[in-house]
Amino acid sequence: KAGVTQTPRYLIKTRGQQVTLSCSPISGHRSVSWYQQTPGQGLQFLFEYFSETQRNKGNFPGRFSGRQFSNSRSEMNVSTLELGDSALYLCASSTNRGQETQYFGPGTRLLVL
Amino acid sequence: GENVEQHPSTLSVQEGDSAVIKCTYSDSASNYFPWYKQELGKRPQLIIDIRSNVGEKKDQRIAVTLNKTAKHFSLHITETQPEDSAVYFCAAIGDYKLSFGAGTTVTVRA
């Protein structure tokens, strides 16, 4: 099976702009989780979608949002970008949620100038 | 929510020696504990996981132990090789989401 894919792989934006990142899970996986990875904060959970419903949310401001489509592909959006949003954004998919193994995509590296 | 602490933050070992990374978690309801390896510039890759009904699991040179009473679990790498150099993350499932430790940078000296 093809692995988790993310687009774009790299992105440069300026403060105040918004950005949309995309994640395509492994075929058959219905759960998609998003994480922010920074050198100082490690891997921080953003949110998880399962069957088009957000099931869980981390401690991030409302500028961070997401959605999941009927084919399980997911997008996350960050509005009004701040310098501190510069990070590697990773998505991970699993067959279900909870105790299932998560498989990560290659990530989207976002740089906010 | 779940809080996972990981130690040490950096670990340097001589090739052929063993490496041990320890993690503690706070949510007694957590029942799934994966370990991920992330090489520079690459995605985290699952290397081993353990569920709460098992105390130990081994896969070649890698083993994980779990002590549910003490709420800690450990990763053991034996006969380390240069390709084991990477950042290792432990994680625990709590409230249906993965919480990660801060990571351990392992350097294997040739």
Task: Tell me the pLDDT tens digit for each residue of B51-110.
Answer: 888 899 999 999 999 999 999 999 999 999 999 999 999 999 876 778 899 999 999 999
User: What pLDDT score was predicted for residue B1?
Assistant: 66
Return the residue matching tokens 């503690």. Answer: B24
* E-strand stretches of A51-95: 53-57, 64-68, 74-78, 87-94
Is B86 within 8 Å of B108 (Cβ atoms)? no
Residue B29 has pLDDT above 90, yes or no: no
The C-alpha atoms of residue B85 and residue A28 are separated, in whole angstroms, by: 33
Q: Which of A102, A103, A108, A109 to mutate to test the interface with B (most CBs of B within 10 A)?
A: A102
Pick the closest to residue B52 from B70, B38, B37 (CA basis).
B70
Kindly report the number of other CB atoms within 10 A of residue A51's CB atom. Answer: 11
Closest by alpha carbon to B12, among B21, B4, B3, B1? B21
Q: Tell whether A51 is within 8 A of chain B (Cβ).
A: no
End-to-end CA distance of chain B: 41
Determine contact: A62 vs chain B, CB below 8 A: no
Average pLDDT over residues A64-80: 97
- Measure B50 CA to nearest chain A CA, in Å: 10
